[in-house]
């Protein structure tokens, strides 16, 4: 066991301890008198002393000491004896047995020995090792406590530290934590790794330096085990810009599995919503615990191994032995009990597997316990077979729970005996006789013993007359068929006659499904295919219909009845090829990525020659989607389907590898992808089936076969045999692990594609630099994600929807927009910022769905940062009229779609009173020009009322707060405000008189800019302006108006205002601060008392 490091005096210790092993930093010692046969006198005395001591005071016979080379406490070792030097060491581990202490020694050698050489300071070495050992002790203690109680005190302590160190909202649930090292270059930082439901966090305080690392699971692009120069086994986390290595875990396997599960769960929950509703484990992330993740991993392996429905939940896993009559002995393995199944898998892979649907079970009984048959039970099934299990722990509780589920299954689905399948078979006598012999010995129902022998029979090819029946048994579609009487007929009745996009796609593909086969050259076969595909689309609208389903279904109809073909299609789409047939075919892409890794592993020479394996992956995509049915002659491809129904996707992987190996020479000599495609297509088109009783049916790629000379054919039986012999060593567990690993990459690849497509559309329309746009997109997406992490879903903020167009996949609501506005907008107005953000959101939300996209968000920011002064003023103007200020009317135009006004006339700002006349003339002319230019726009902006104008002024005053030129700006805006109030009065009087011409009115308004009285400028303080704004009577407010042209012209009279709106703004510093503060702003808001959501109401 590891010890809290303590100093040990070795001055007289040589008489008590003997050195067994040593290195530069560690010594392994044995207690004298322990393990010695005769022993010397000293050893006998020490042994006698240890023997008479109380058990609590006895010294462990083995220990490990820490020594630091070159320090004051180092002494060299020679021939097991210590030479001159200091006598102080640190004891860090003890062991009762040599095996135990060697385990600790091996861990030190593998994880610490090579690492310590990077330290220059000897005291740092001692501090690092002692800190690491203390962390291991704490982890061991917490692990033991976790086994004893549900919420150990240690975990609560870790939770308190996690919350204090990272300041996440309470909703960020900690799942587990580990002691480890995070590598920064060649230097390891000892600390604690915290795994929560949304983040991977690391904290270290070492040698006076604090390190905090927070990585959202959705940012992880690659999670893998690797090695570096110093350590043989590390966990590497790869994000968009960085790689982080973590090592020195007490149990690295456990840590990696938990991390893999958390990454998988989070990415599928947040980025893969097409299957979100199908997996209840992903619904409540706040309920996820370490134990739940381990159970989920075991559950997924169980479903994948036995290819059971996704809804099946595992209840019990029990070690036991099953009587196998064909071998006349009990086979050691495990029993898996779920909602509707009892399954058995032998410990020796492939030796014997059994699937017992509970609807086939007649009784479950306990037998008498004997020394030869300990804790036995008998499970009897309908086909008069019985399965004997022995060595079951906690047998009574297990049988009780099995009987409860058996009763429930029989109550929901009453058993109806069906003997119509036991018909005499007369075709292909040799194969049939082999199968009949197998049925007699191993069983002929879904409950048959599944052994290596049956795999060999399947590889030889299933007889035509048995193919449909065995497909139903191997896929367990027969259980679904028996459990849902009348279900298919009802679906057909409900779905037929309805016209929609899916049915149009089905109709378009009906006559492309095996057109060369006689069964689909008449309306009978076409009608059956139409009913099956339409019924399935009606059953599962999330999948609906995808191309390649027609080819697969047409082959199923050749060997099974119509209703049987439907349930076989259900088994393939929902269990055997999960996530293949949906909008983004994520499952197929994941398996393509897995296939690439298998090529690198099994065919390294081919992988090295073909630098870009994605070409092979694109060629082989149809292999997976159609199970080779579209690219191989039908009589050969059905043998591949035989193997697929028995072995699942593993059969397609290994056959694909066999095809590539057979064509490795041709592929290596090919000059481009087109030539490689030709090589593979010719080979696949000439695969024959010597045992097929029917006439050959060509494949869809027959047009590749215009060979000038005969091409040698390959028998499918030989190809399948080679695939099992050379590439059949992949287990289900390995494939599922690879799928989990590559699903992260595939989903992140889709995220990158979405990002690049959105940026490609936005970049030409704005002046913000592409690298800054990329940062903005990441902030926009992260804001959406943080709401998914910690807030209850709001009706206006739906989950990420990958089925939408790229630009609409991420959208934010008013509350999320307010956070981003505060972080990145240059128009920060103190307490007024939140109000301005609300108005900006309402203005951008032109379709009134309470959500905005990235493009609208960036277009608005582009005006704020890079727009000309008149563009910025126009945006501010629109933020203070309807619909931004009110909700009564909706402007159908986007704020940036109109041609923006541009003032080309140069302005001369006069400083003396003598220039006043020229200034008045220039402004009069500007108003006339603006009035003419206004007519060119698509739609005239409504004039601003006095109440709206006051809100406009408040915003301007707030924007100038803390500006270096604050006083000058306040005086300038006070002057402009007073002038505009007088302009509004002039307009009010002219509209009431009704006698002024348009041009005369313009002159009146222009003359109001420069009245002869100097009293207007006497007091320009904000308080005075506010008082002035309140002196106008209420009843006149409806008639008092100013236009955008008036406001722009007035603002142009003040140089300080012009300078303020035209000064360059730096978005990069804002983005840097936003990246740092985005989390803290969100957590600060979450920590406050619940605030009402931003309301889209009048101000």
Interval 917-964: pLDDT, tens: 454 555 555 556 655 555 554 467 888 888 888 888 888 888 888 788
Section 877-899 average pLDDT: 58
- Taking alpha carbons only, the member of 590, 614, 584, 589 closest to residue 741 is 590
**At CB < 8 A and 24+ separation, what contacts does 100-104 make?**
100/1, 100/62, 101/28, 101/62, 101/63, 101/64, 104/2, 104/64
pLDDT tens-digit readout, 651-685 = 999 999 999 999 999 888 888 888 888 999 999 99
Alpha-carbon distances of 513 from 130, 533, 699, 915, rounded to whole Å: 70, 12, 11, 87
3-state secondary structure of 81: strand
Banded model confidence at residue 907, pLDDT cuts 50, 70, 90: very low
Highest mean pLDDT (candidates 184-188, 375-379, 1025-1029): 375-379
Average confidence (pLDDT) over 313-336: 92
- Which of 88-92, 565-569, 973-977, 1069-1073 has maximum average pLDDT? 565-569
**Would you call 615 exposed, middle or buried from its count of C-beta atoms within 10 A (0-12, 13-18, 19+)?**
middle
| Chain segment 813-871, per-residue pLDDT in tens | 888 899 999 999 998 877 788 889 999 999 998 888 888 999 999 999 999 999 999 99
**Cα separation values, 980 from 905, 931, 974, Å:** 21, 17, 10
Q: What is the mean pLDDT of residues 983-1008?
A: 54
The answer on pLDDT for 912 being more than 60 is no
More confident residue, 1092 or 231: 231
Whether the predicted pLDDT of 911 surpasses 70:
no
**Distance in angstroms (rounded) separating the CA atoms of residues 879 and 221:** 40
Q: What is the pLDDT of residue 564?
A: 95
pTM of the model: 0.75
Q: Are 177 and 194 in contact (CB under 8 A)?
A: yes
Q: Which two tokens stand for residue 334?
A: 């495990």
**With contact defined as beta carbons under 8 Å apart, do 720 and 714 qualify?**
no
Alpha-carbon span 758 to 746, nearest angstrom: 18
Does the pLDDT at position 426 exceed 80? Answer: no
Percent of the chain with pLDDT over 90: 33
Q: Which residues contact 498 (CB under 8 A, 6 or more apart)?
A: 538
pLDDT in tens, 36-76: 554 555 555 545 444 434 333 346 788 888 887 654 444 33
Q: What is the mean predicted confidence (pLDDT) over 273-297?
A: 69
pLDDT category, 1019, cuts 50, 70, 90? very low
**Where is pLDDT greater, at 915 or 387?**
387
State how far the alpha carbon of 339 is from the alpha carbons of 299, 328, 964, in Å.
12, 31, 71
Torsion-angle region of 1002 (φ positive above 0: left; ψ -120 to 50: alpha; else: beta): alpha
Residue at token pair 């697969």: 552
Look at residues 538, 466, 463 and name the one whose alpha carbon lies nearest to residue 499. 538
Return d(Cα 307, Cα 123) in angstroms, integer: 57
DSSP, collapsed to helix, strand or coil, labels residue 424 as coil
Residue with token string 């392994």: 28
Residue 149 has pLDDT above 70, yes or no: no
CA distance 107 to 707: 62
Q: Which two tokens stand for residue 25?
A: 């930093």
Could you give the 3-state DSSP secondary structure of residue 879? coil
Decide if pLDDT at 1021 tops 50: no
Weakest mean pLDDT among 52-61, 496-505, 561-570, 599-608: 52-61
Q: Using an 8 Å Cβ cutoff, are 382 and 360 in contact?
A: yes
The pLDDT of 764-791, averaged and rounded, is: 90
Q: Angle, to 10 degrees, between the axis of helix 649-662 and the axis of helix 614-626?
A: 130
Which residues does 559 contact at the CB level (< 8 Å), separation at least 6?
464, 467, 468, 471, 638
How many Cα neighbours within 13 Å face the side chain of 1098? 7
Instruction: Give the pLDDT confidence score for residue 428 in this predicted structure.
Output: 61
- CB distance 195 to 292 below 8 Å: no
Rg (CA), the chain: 39
Using CB atoms within 10 Å of the CB of residue 74, give its burial: 0 to 12 exposed, 13 to 18 middle, 19+ buried: middle
Work out the pLDDT band at 402, boundaries 50, 70, 90. Answer: very high
Assigned token pair, 476: 């367990």
pLDDT of residue 76: 35
Burial (Cβ within 10 Å: 0-12, 13-18, ≥19) of residue 932? exposed
1008: confidence class by pLDDT, cuts 50, 70, 90: very low
pLDDT at position 1088 is: 63
Looking at residue 433, its pLDDT comes to 85
How far, in Å, CA of 75 to CA of 88, rounded?
Answer: 9
Give CA–CA dist 704/701, Å, rounded. 6
| Long-range CB pairs of 671-676, under 8 A, 24+ apart, other chains included | 673/615, 673/619, 676/610, 676/615, 676/616, 676/619
DSSP conformation letters of 1007-1070: HTTS-S-GGGGS---HHHHHHHHHSS-GGGTTT-EE-HHHHHHHHTT-HHHHHHHHS---HHHH
Q: How far apart are CA 1088 and CA 169, in angstroms?
A: 10
Spacing of C-alpha 1032 from chain mean position:
60
79, pLDDT greater than 50: no
The predicted model gives 224-251 an average pLDDT of 83
> Which residue is associated with the tokens 């109109």?
898
Please provide the DSSP assignment of 275-336 as one string: GGGG-GGGT-GGG--HHHHHHHHHHHHHHHHHT--TT--EEEEEEEEEEETTTTEEEEEEEE
- Report the number of secondary-structure helices (H) and strands (E) in the chain: 38, 28
- What region, left, alpha or beta, does residue 981 occupy, with left being phi > 0 and alpha being psi -120 to 50 degrees? alpha
Q: Match 């005369």 to its residue by tokens.
A: 1000
Q: Give the three-class secondary structure for 491.
A: helix
Task: With CA atoms as reference, report the closest residue to 210 among 191, 193, 194.
Answer: 191
* CB-based contact 231:112 (threshold 8 Å): no
The 8-class DSSP code of residue 1092 comes to P
Residue among 627, 619, 632 nearest 646 (CA): 627
If we measure between CA atoms, which residue out of 885, 862, 902, 909 comes closest to residue 763?
A: 862
The angle formed by the CA atoms of residues 865, 871 and 872, to the nearest 5 degrees, is 50
Q: How far apart are CA 1018 and CA 1021, in angstroms?
A: 9
- Is residue 910 within 8 A of residue 916, CB to CB? The reply is yes
Rounded Cα distance between 867 and 865, Å, is: 6
Choose among 933, 1031, 926: nearest CA to 977.
1031
DSSP, res 798: P
Q: Please, which pLDDT band fits residue 602 given cuts at 50, 70 and 90?
A: very high
Q: How far apart (Å, rounded) are the C-alpha atoms in residues 673 and 1035? A: 79
β-pair type (329-338, 377-381) = unpaired
Residue-level pLDDT at 922: 54
Interaxial angle between packed helices 562-571 and 487-495, expressed in degrees from 0 to 180 and rounded to the nearest 10:
90
* Measured distance CA(191)–CA(158) in Å, rounded: 12
What pLDDT is attached to residue 1094?
33
Tell me if 382 sits within 8 A of 415, measured CB to CB.
yes
pLDDT at 416 over 60: no
Q: How far apart are CA 728 and CA 73, in angstroms?
A: 57
Span of 291-305, 506-520, 780-794, 998-1012 with lowest mean pLDDT: 998-1012
Q: How far apart are CA 838 and CA 880, in angstroms?
A: 11
Q: How far is CA 826 from CA 773, 864, 865, 894, in A?
A: 16, 7, 7, 21
Gap between the Cα atoms of 278 and 142, Å rounded: 35
Give me the chain's average pLDDT, please: 79
Place of tokens 């005053």: 957
- Total residue count of the chain as it appears in this document: 1099
pLDDT exceeds 80 at position 558: yes
Chain CA centroid to CA 303, Å:
21
pLDDT band, residue 209 (cuts 50/70/90):
confident
Q: 8-45 pLDDT, tens per residue?
A: 766 555 567 888 888 888 888 888 776 655 455 555 55
């Amino acid at each position: 066991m590891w010890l809290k490091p303590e100093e040990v005096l070795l001055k007289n210790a040589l008489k008590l301890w003997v050195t067994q092993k040593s290195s530069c930093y560690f010594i392994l010692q044995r207690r004298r008198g322990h393990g010695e046969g005769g022993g010397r006198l000293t050893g006998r005395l020490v042994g006698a002393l240890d023997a008479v001591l109380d058990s609590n005071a006895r010294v462990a016979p083995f220990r490990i000491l820490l020594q630091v080379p070159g320090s004051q406490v180092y002494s060299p070792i020679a021939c097991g004896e210590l030479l001159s030097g200091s006598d102080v060491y640190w004891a860090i581990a003890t062991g009762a047995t040599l095996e135990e202490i060697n385990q600790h020694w091996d861990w030190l050698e593998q994880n610490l020995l090579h690492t310590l050489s990077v330290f220059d300071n000897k005291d740092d070495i001692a501090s690092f090792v002692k800190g690491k050992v203390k962390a291991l002790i704490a982890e061991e203690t917490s692990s033991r406590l976790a086994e004893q109680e549900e919420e150990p005190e240690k975990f609560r302590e870790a939770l308190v530290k996690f919350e204090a160190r990272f300041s996440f909202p309470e909703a960020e649930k900690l799942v587990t934590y580990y002691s480890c090292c995070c590598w920064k270059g060649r230097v390891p930082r000892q600390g604690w790794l915290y795994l929560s439901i949304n983040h991977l966090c690391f904290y270290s305080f070492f040698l006076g330096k604090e390190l905090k690392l927070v990585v959202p699971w959705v940012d992880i692009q690659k999670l893998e085990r690797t090695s570096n120069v110093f350590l043989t086994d590390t966990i590497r986390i790869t994000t968009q810009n960085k790689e982080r290595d973590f090592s020195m875990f007490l149990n690295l396997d456990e840590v990696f599995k938990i991390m893999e599960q958390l990454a998988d769960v989070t990415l599928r929950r947040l980025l893969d919503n097409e299957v979100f509703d199908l997996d209840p484990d992903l619904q409540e992330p706040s309920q996820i615990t370490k134990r739940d993740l381990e159970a989920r991993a075991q559950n997924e392996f169980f479903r994948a191994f036995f290819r059971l429905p996704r809804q099946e939940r595992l209840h019990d896993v029990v070690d036991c032995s099953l009587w196998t009559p064909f071998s006349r002995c009990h086979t050691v393995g495990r029993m898996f009990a779920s909602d509707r199944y009892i399954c058995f898998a032998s410990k020796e892979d492939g030796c014997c597997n059994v699937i017992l649907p509970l609807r086939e079970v007649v009784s479950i009984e306990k037998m008498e316990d004997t020394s030869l048959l300990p804790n036995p039970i008998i499970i009897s099934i309908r086909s008069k077979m019985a399965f004997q299990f022995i060595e079951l722990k906690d047998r009574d509780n297990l049988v009780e729970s099995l009987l409860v589920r058996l009763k429930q299954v029989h109550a929901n689905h009453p058993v109806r005996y069906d003997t119509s399948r036991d018909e005499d078979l007369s075709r292909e006598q040799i194969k049939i006789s082999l199968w009949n012999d197998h049925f007699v010995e191993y069983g002929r129902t879904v409950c048959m013993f599944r052994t290596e022998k049956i795999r060999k029979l399947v590889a030889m090819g299933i007889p035509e007359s048995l193919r449909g029946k065995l497909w139903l048994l191997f896929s367990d579609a027969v259980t679904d068929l028996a459990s849902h009487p009348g279900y298919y007929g009802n679906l057909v009745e409900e779905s037929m006659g309805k016209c929609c996009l899916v049915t149009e796609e089905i109709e378009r593909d009906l006559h492309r499904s095996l057109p060369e086969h006689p069964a689909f050259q008449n309306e009978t076969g076409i009608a059956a295919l139409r009913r099956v595909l339409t019924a399935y689309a009606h059953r599962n609208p999330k999948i609906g219909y995808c191309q390649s389903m027609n080819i697969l279904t047409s082959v199923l109809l050749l060997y099974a009845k119509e209703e049987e073909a439907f349930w076989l299609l259900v088994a393939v789409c929902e269990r055997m090829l999960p996530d293949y047939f949906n909008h983004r075919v994520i499952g197929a892409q994941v398996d393509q990525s897995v296939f690439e890794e298998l090529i690198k592993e099994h065919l390294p020479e081919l992988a090295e020659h073909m630098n870009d394996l994605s070409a092979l992956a694109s060629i082989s995509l149809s292999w997976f989607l159609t199970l080779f049915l579209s690219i191989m002659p039908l009589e050969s491809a059905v043998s591949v389907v035989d193997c697929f129904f028995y072995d699942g996707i593993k059969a397609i992987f290994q056959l694909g590898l066999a095809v590539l190996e057979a064509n490795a020479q041709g592929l290596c000599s090919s000059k481009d992808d087109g030539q490689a495609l030709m090589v593979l297509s010719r080979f696949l088109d000439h695969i024959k089936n010597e045992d097929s009783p029917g006439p050959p049916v060509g494949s869809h790629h027959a047009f590749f076969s215009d060979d000038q000379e005969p091409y040698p054919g390959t028998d499918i039986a030989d190809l399948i045999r080679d695939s099992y012999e050379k590439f059949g060593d992949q287990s289900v567990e390995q494939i599922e692990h690879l799928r989990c690993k590559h699903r992260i990459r595939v989903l992140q690849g889709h995220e990158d594609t979405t990002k690049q497509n959105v940026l490609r559309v936005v970049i030409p329309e704005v002046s913000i630099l592409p690298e800054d746009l990329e940062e903005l997109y990441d902030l926009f997406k992260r804001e959406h994600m943080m709401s998914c992490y910690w807030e209850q879903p709001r009706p206006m903020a739906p989950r990420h929807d990958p089925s939408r167009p790229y630009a609409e996949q991420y959208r934010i609501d008013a509350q999320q927009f307010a956070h981003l506005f505060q972080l990145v907008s240059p128009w920060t107005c103190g307490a007024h910022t939140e109000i301005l953000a609300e108005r900006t959101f309402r203005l951008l939300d032109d379709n009134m769905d309470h959500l905005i996209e990235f493009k609208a968000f960036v277009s608005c920011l582009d005006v704020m940062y890079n727009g000309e002064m008149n563009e910025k003023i126009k945006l501010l103007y629109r933020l203070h009229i309807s619909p931004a200020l009110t909700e009564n009317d909706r402007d159908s135009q986007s704020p940036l779609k109109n041609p923006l006004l541009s003032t080309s006339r140069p302005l001369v700002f006069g400083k003396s009173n003598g220039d006043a006349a020229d200034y008045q003339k220039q402004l009069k002319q500007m108003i006339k020009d603006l009035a003419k230019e206004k007519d060119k726009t698509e739609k005239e902006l409504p004039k601003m009322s006095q109440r709206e104008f006051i809100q406009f002024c408040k915003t301007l005053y707030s924007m100038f707060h803390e500006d270096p030129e604050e006083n000058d700006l306040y005086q300038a805006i006070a002057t402009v405000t007073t002038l505009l109030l007088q302009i509004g009065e002039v307009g009010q009087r002219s509209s009431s008189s009704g006698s002024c011409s348009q041009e005369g009115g313009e002159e009146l308004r222009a003359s109001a800019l420069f009245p002869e009285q100097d009293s207007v400028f006497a007091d320009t303080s904000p308080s005075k302006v506010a008082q002035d704004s309140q002196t106008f009577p209420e009843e006149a407010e409806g008639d008092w108006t100013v236009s955008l042209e008036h406001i722009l012209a007035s603002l142009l009279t003040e140089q300080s205002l012009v300078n303020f709106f035209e000064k360059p703004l730096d978005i990069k510093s804002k983005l840097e601060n936003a990246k740092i503060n985005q989390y803290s702003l969100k957590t600060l808001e979450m920590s406050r008392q619940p605030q009402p959501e931003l309301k889209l109401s009048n101000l």
